[in-house]
Amino acid sequence: MQKMVTYLLGCWLFMVTSGQVTTVSDRDSTRRDTKFAGFPVLGYSPETRIIGGVYTQLLMGDPLLRRPSTLGLSMVISQNRQFSINLFPDSWLKDNIYRLAGELKWQYWPDQFYGIGNDTRWEDEEYYVSRIWGIKLDMLRMVCRQLYAGILLEIEHNNIVEYDTLSDASLPEGIIPGSKKSAISGLGLTFAWDSRSDILLPASGAYCQLRLVYFNRAMGSTYPFTKWIIDLRKYCTLGRDHLLFVQAYGKFLWAREVPFRNMAMLGGDKLLRGYFRGRYRDHNMFVVQVEYHSPYIWRFSLVAFAGAGDVFHANLQNIRIKPAGGIGVRFKLFKDRRMNLRLDLAVGRDDHGIYLGILEAF
């Protein structure tokens, strides 16, 4: 397994290097095809309380192209003693025929667990600390115009190193799947239809993705299961520079047992802002959300968003729809790049959140 991971990462590095050398040699050396941005991160979210750190992003490619390659690096530490290092490579090669995207992460992550299901209670909160490392790698090729297909690799190791001292805590008892130590490792297929006018802030087009991953014991998974993800997005312009985004998202896990940290989780900064991520978790989840962007005034834009969703195990009759909504502000970082710094304020049912970051939620 380690040899396969090393080989795949080596292929990615080789293709990224080759693609960038070709790009530079084909263009006037005086043209600025690479931009670097670094930002201090200071914010607040339900999952972290006050969080600070640094986020850097390298953008490579002609500004006139709609597929710039990016390399993001984030290092953050929170008031809850959470620490995370994440690397986000996303490379478009050979005139957008090939795409290699992924994530490498290492985390020391104190968190809360409320149980499994869509009716968990605040008073059932348990504290725990997990050490996590993981790799995601997607290798895609254009099949025809706007349609990409390829293979993917997902690996994640979780080690719970500290538990709550409550007498009725469930994680220390080992009755919850993944409550001691867990590993998932799997290969899969991915298909993506991408007609977006821009990948950073689309004004038109659509993005439709299907991901199928099989995690099995032969590759090192402690829990075998199959994961399906369906992500459907539509982007359109209303009048003069008014933008409307719509997303329908579903995550479905097929197995008797799935590690609790790898279950479908509602909330966070992307899927139904306004809910603590992991407050509700189970084998399956669906989310529908919309977002409106106003025209820019200088580099600022206003945003309003709303959504609804839920998690469930198998029985759709037990679904309890959870609504959320909020407002936000965007700041355009570059004059010739549609890339925003975002701040969102969101409210859910008996919950709320403040989110600060780079790039859009969807």
Collapsed DSSP state (helix, strand, coil) of residue 175: coil
- The per-residue pLDDT for 62 is 66
Q: pLDDT tens digits, residue range 28-74?
A: 444 447 888 887 877 777 788 888 899 888 888 765 556 778 899 99
pLDDT band at 341 (very low <50, low <70, confident <90, very high): confident
Cβ atoms of residues 174 and 182 within 8 Å: no
For residue 321, give Cα distances in angstroms to 118, 206, 275, 329, 349.
Answer: 9, 26, 13, 27, 10
Q: How many CB atoms lie within 10 A of CB 92?
A: 23
The token duo for 20 is 């960038």
The answer to whether residue 106 scores a pLDDT higher than 70 is: yes
Mean pLDDT over 122-126 rounds to 91
Q: Give the whole-angstrom CA distance, residue 171 versus residue 173.
A: 5
What's the pLDDT band for 92 if we cut at 50, 70, 90?
confident
Give me the chain's average pLDDT, please: 87
Domains within the chain, CATH numbers bracketed: 2-24+36-358 (2.40.160.50)
- For residues 254-286, one letter each, b for 16 or more C-beta atoms within 10 angstroms of the residue's C-beta and e for the rest, the string is eeeebbbbbbbbbbbbbbbbbbbbbbbbbbbbb
More confident residue, 168 or 278: 278
Predicted confidence at residue 288, as pLDDT, reads 98
Cα separation, 61 vs 183, in Å, equals 37
Query: What secondary structure does DSSP assign to 63-76, as a single string?
Result: TTSS--EEEEEEEE
Helix (H, G, I), strand (E, B) or coil at 58: strand
As given in the structure block, the two tokens for residue 288 are 């529908």
Q: Give the three-class secondary structure for 246.
A: strand
Kindly give the pairing relationship between strand 351-358 and strand 225-238: unpaired
Q: For residues 106 and 166, what is the distance between their CA atoms, to the nearest angstrom?
A: 28
pTM (2 d.p.): 0.83
Classify strands 98-113 and 284-293 as parallel, antiparallel or unpaired. Answer: unpaired
- Lowest pLDDT segment from 1-10, 78-87, 316-325: 1-10
Name the pairing type of β-strands 281-282 and 34-45: unpaired
Torsion of CA 313, 316, 322, 327, to 10 degrees: 100
